[in-house]
Chain A
């Protein structure tokens, strides 16, 4: 395998002009990511993006967003109708071919525009049994929450404690939609959205955009003082129909984590895409993360869920742990589908020269 590293990560500001286009959210974000490592759009050999037309109800919207990457003269590019973390996976595969050294990955989504996210996401379900009854992602997450509470013996108070901790963790995170000190008792006075999940248990959906730069081999060391090397990356899917799964566990995360080599040396930090609080418990167990592992120091998806971008942001935050904070081994996780159906695990390493 060819050594590939993340050398840069940038995220669009949470506050945007009203009606801002995704292209204009992305353009300065991509420029920022490339500029920090002295690269330009001309240096990029492969571009891959992640987004979903269903969010705003547009058609082929990724074509407009591609203009932010600079698509003239023509470039080599691809798009996934998925979270940007899967675009990063494709870019990593593309760099394994060996003929290009630099890849740009970006993702964007306007979860607050268009239709209700709970309504839109029913379209990811099977069209026979679940989509017709409008089984939205919060209702399904509530079923998972109930299974988790029964499986682990934890309580709604434990879920509130996770949320309170993440909001404290997010105090310094400018991309957090909610942050700061809040008491568990105060949280438990919030209304249920779907029992046992209350308003705070569901990460607030926000608009967002992010960009990551991947560079292969020695060139990564040339452009970046401390690249975050991709030591392992894998993605797996559970069966599409939630009814055939044990929702208290995530087999696909466990397999992806094992194949990405989480256990081979452990990790100091894990950035997990837990959009609803019980998911964090499921993921930590599936990945074998004990109390020594710092989980979601950014606050994670419980403080902001820029749909289609959230997973890429987790990997970007994991990169920051290596690059900015000198961590040796961390992981970023992305998830998609109902009740953590699809999962991607990316293990990053900082290496001393």
Chain B
């Protein structure tokens, strides 16, 4: 007498074709190849969707080429983003912009000071929490002209 079947292997697979991209998806990719990031700005609420979806899910209206806007970085020239250690602080501020100094002159230990945004343009409490580091409150940092800090003085800090 044979043993009853208790286990049975069943290997299964379905082959899916990669879906044909939408016209909007193709257009977005073509613009990317031209180093351009585009989005669609909702004609009702003004929210910008990158990549564009062809509609605003909040207002539930379709968006078209007429709603296309450029997105991406504002910088058009080479630039530096620095990590800063505030005097008296043991944690760093990351991705901060510098002004008033040539890129070749930027170096570890450079002393800088904050260029504050005008009062009233420093963002709300909520944007400060969401933003990186100090958000919009500080526009950038500029050299003070003081002597550099030694590398040893920067060694012990928390990222």
Which residue numbers of A lie inside 8 Å of B, CB to CB?
17-21, 23-24, 27-28, 31, 41, 54, 56-57, 67-72, 110, 113-115, 119-120, 123, 127-128, 131-132
Contact = CB atoms under 8 A, between A and B. Distances in A.
Interface in B21-66: 21-23, 25-26, 53-55, 57-58, 60, 62
B12 A132 contact: yes
A56 B57 contact: no
Given A27-B62, A72-B57, A56 B14 contact: no
Nearest to B59: A70
A67 B54 CA distance: 12
A123 B60 CA distance: 34
B60 A70 contact: yes
B148 to A, nearest CB: 52
Contacts of A27: 55, 60, 62
B54 A19 contact: no
A115 B14 contact: yes
B16 A57 contact: yes
Contact of B22 (A17, A57, A127, A128): A17
A114 B26 CA distance: 18
A18 B55 contact: no
Contacts of A20: 22
Nearest to A70: B60
26 contacts: A18-B20, A19-B20, A19-B25, A23-B53, A23-B55, A27-B55, A27-B60, A27-B62, A41-B60, A54-B14, A56-B16, A56-B19, A57-B16, A68-B60, A69-B60, A70-B57, A70-B60, A71-B57, A114-B17, A114-B19, A115-B15, A115-B17, A123-B14, A127-B12, A131-B10, A132-B10
B30 to A, nearest CB: 14
Interface in B2-17: 8, 10, 12, 14-17
A113 B20 contact: yes
Q: Nearest 9 pairs between A and B by C-beta?
A: A57-B16, A67-B57, A70-B60, A19-B20, A19-B22, A114-B16, A115-B14, A115-B16, A19-B21
Given A67-B57, A114-B19, A119 B14 contact: yes
B8 A128 contact: yes
A44 B139 CA distance: 46
A120 B14 contact: yes
Most chain B beta-carbon neighbours within 10 Å: one of A19, A31, A131: A19
A37 B8 CA distance: 56
A120 B57 CA distance: 30
Nearest to A66: B57
A202 to B, nearest CB: 20
A127 B10 CA distance: 8
Given A24-B62, A27-B60, A68-B60, A19 B19 contact: yes
Nearest to A120: B14
Nearest to A58: B19
Nearest to A31: B60
A72 B55 CA distance: 14
A351 B147 CA distance: 91
B23 A17 contact: yes
